[in-house]
Amino acid sequence: MIGGVTGLLVLAATPIGQVRDAPPRLAAELAGADVVAAEDTRRLRRLCRDLGVEPSGRVLSYFEGNEHARTPALLEALGAGERVLLVTDAGMPSVSDPGYRLVAAAVDAGVPVTAVPGPSAVLTALAVSGLPVDRFCFEGFPPRKAGERQRRLAGLAHEERTLVFFESPHRTAATLAAMADAFGGDRPAAVCRELTKTHEEVRRGPLSELAAWAADGVRGEVTLVVAGAPPAAVPADPAAWRAAVAELTDGGTTRKEAIARVARAAGVPKREVYDAVHREDAP
């Protein structure tokens, strides 16, 4: 902030497929921003051409390779009172795309941050998957290395919320096979490919069937949606509750969430499981 003047950081969603899905405010923000930070300036130029708009401000590249080095300059522009627009290749900035560092720095500096909502592969895939949407978690891209991927998925094997992942097409088959091993081949899932584009495809089925289908190769942008684990049956016995909570916390679940899960599985109020666990902890 310079002389009491504060800029504004605007995060703008861009189409994940059809340009007609661009939010109406996007063109106005592109035309009026003092600085446009884009993950790929060539794609930005194509998007502007399709929208019939010409940015009036400075256009800078802002991608994974230069995000750390370029953030201070953008923060300086915000401190000077400029309006900085951040766009990525598709979807919402900072969601598995560049942006988090700049948002965190702006928040720390007291700079207002707002967003132009719009297309999201995460929410689109979740909505069309046919799987439960009341509770879900986004896990981004699974690790590329097989061992790390196996450990990450093993840690999610008992997650009861619907899981959403991004994956590259050439790793989709291996990831689906690893999910079938970690979650069980009969776990329901959906492979959402080329969402909103001409060749959009949503293939639903058990993980084992989807892994076999993907073995022949998958093309395009891929989002995977996997059903959460069914609640494990827990007897109406405080000792069993304590053992179940201990098993979950040993696997990395917080005690609060573990107590909530065990209570749901046992069909009892959380307070009863909480009391049982803490009686055991008491000296």
Return d(Cα 235, Cα 61) in angstroms, integer.
57
Tell whether the model's pLDDT for residue 1 goes beyond 80: no
Which range (92-101, 148-157, 189-198, 236-245) has the least confidence? 236-245
233 falls within a domain: no
What local confidence, expressed as pLDDT, does residue 233 receive?
Answer: 67
Tell whether the model's pLDDT for residue 282 goes beyond 70: no
| Residue labelled with tokens 């084992």 | 208
Tell whether the model's pLDDT for residue 127 goes beyond 90: yes
Single-letter amino acid, residue 65: G
Higher-pLDDT residue of 22 and 279 is: 22
Mean pLDDT of the chain: 92
- Reduced to 3 states (helix: H, G, I; strand: E, B; else coil), residue 190 is strand
Tell whether the model's pLDDT for residue 110 goes beyond 90: yes
232 falls within a domain: no
What local confidence, expressed as pLDDT, does residue 5 receive?
Answer: 56
**Token representation of residue 133:** 């949407």
What local confidence, expressed as pLDDT, does residue 104 receive?
Answer: 95
- Reduced to 3 states (helix: H, G, I; strand: E, B; else coil), residue 212 is helix
Strands in the chain per DSSP E: 8-12, 35-38, 58-61, 83-87, 113-116, 136-138, 162-167, 188-193, 201-206, 222-226
Mean pLDDT calculated for residue range 192-219: 96
Query: What is the band of 212 on the pLDDT scale with cuts at 50, 70, 90?
Result: very high
Are both 103 and 165 inside the same structural domain? no
What local confidence, expressed as pLDDT, does residue 132 receive?
Answer: 92
List the CATH number of the domain containing 20. 3.40.1010.10
What local confidence, expressed as pLDDT, does residue 227 receive?
Answer: 96
**Token representation of residue 264:** 């749901």
Which range (43-52, 59-68, 139-148, 231-240) has the least confidence? 231-240
Query: What is the band of 276 on the pLDDT scale with cuts at 50, 70, 90?
Result: confident
44 falls within a domain: yes
What local confidence, expressed as pLDDT, does residue 281 receive?
Answer: 62
Residues of the chain with pLDDT > 90: what percent?
Answer: 75
pLDDT per residue as tens digits for the range 33-81: 999 999 999 999 999 999 999 999 999 999 999 999 999 999 999 999 9
Are both 163 and 70 inside the same structural domain? no
What local confidence, expressed as pLDDT, does residue 11 receive?
Answer: 97
Return d(Cα 154, Cα 183) in angstroms, integer.
8
Higher-pLDDT residue of 6 and 154 is: 154
Containing domain of residue 115, as a range? 8-119
Q: How many domains does the chain have?
A: 3
Q: Is the pTM of this model over 0.85?
A: no
213 falls within a domain: yes
Answer with the one of 87, 119, 151 that is the final residue of a domain: 119
What local confidence, expressed as pLDDT, does residue 267 receive?
Answer: 81
100 falls within a domain: yes
